[in-house]
Chain A
Amino acid sequence: NAGVTQTPKFQVLKTGQSMTLQCAQDMNHEYMSWYRQDPGMGLRLIHYSVGAGITDQGEVPNGYNVSRSTTEDFPLRLLSAAPSQTSVYFCASSYSASGSYEQYFGPGTRLTVT
């Protein structure tokens, strides 16, 4: 059981480039989400999904797209990177039937946009 995996661990982009941050979980969790972590601001929710084919916006969705074609995968796309998107990105998942709604986090992707 690998839990929540994220790739890549580190990425440097130039302004205007596009890329996809990958997130996968092997726990059959329904709920998946993306957060960004910035110094002094904690984690902020970007997008989330309650199941395959269903996504919704979080607190800071601008500049990011998501899709959920399978239960396992929840990629985050940056269509035109900006320096303001320099951050550490975390993917998380949880399973409603557990009753606790504990979220399991991946190890993170550190993104720098120059």
Chain B
Amino acid sequence: GDSVTQMEGPVTLSEEAFLTINCTYTATGYPSLFWYVQYPGEGLQLLLKATKADDKGSNKGFEATYRKETTSFHLEKGSVQVSDSAVYFCALSLGHTQGAQKLVFGQGTRLTINP
């Protein structure tokens, strides 16, 4: 079945460090790919997305490129801040039925940034 695998956490970095959170997927079709972020005590928010191969999603300094050849969608940020501390989820969607977008999530990676 369709699945998403993220790098194991937790990840702890110092402020201004470079961040990479790996994400790979298995899917029978051509999925759309997403990164969601969950700040402490809150629900998930969409961080960025890419809908086809070689697309790059970006938001708030984060980037991820849809790599079909390696079935990957790694999240990167050049210089992290303390406010980026959160849990990050990679997810895929194989489209929609009558408007339904079913998401398959990875297990989440907890990121802590120390000042």
On A, residues with C-beta under 8 Å from B are 4, 30-31, 33, 35, 40-45, 48, 50-51, 54, 56, 58, 90, 92, 94-96, 100-103, 105-108
B10 CB to closest chain A CB (Å) equals: 12
List CB contacts (< 8 Å) of B36-56 with chain A: 36, 41-46, 49
Give Cα distance in the complex from A47 to B70, angstroms.
32
| A-B contact number at CB 8 A | 66
| B103 nearest in chain A by CB position | A103
Give Cα distance in the complex from A99 to B105, angstroms.
20
B43 touches A42 (CB 8 A): no
- Extra inter-chain contacts (10) besides given A31-B99, A48-B100, A94-B101, CB under 8 Å: A4-B43, A30-B99, A42-B108, A43-B103, A56-B100, A94-B99, A100-B49, A106-B43, A107-B41, A107-B43
Question: Which chain B residues lie closer than 8 Å to A102 at the CB level?
Answer: 46, 49
On B, residues with C-beta under 8 Å from A are 4, 32, 36, 41-46, 49, 89, 93, 96-103, 105-108
A103 touches B42 (CB 8 A): no
Give Cα distance in the complex from A103 to B96, angstroms.
12
A50 touches B97 (CB 8 A): yes
| B32 nearest in chain A by CB position | A101
B43 CB to closest chain A CB (Å) equals: 4
Q: 11 interchain pairs (CB within 8 A)?
A: A35-B105, A42-B105, A48-B100, A48-B102, A51-B99, A90-B44, A94-B99, A95-B99, A103-B46, A106-B43, A107-B42
Give Cα distance in the complex from A100 to B32, angstroms.
10
| A106 nearest in chain B by CB position | B43
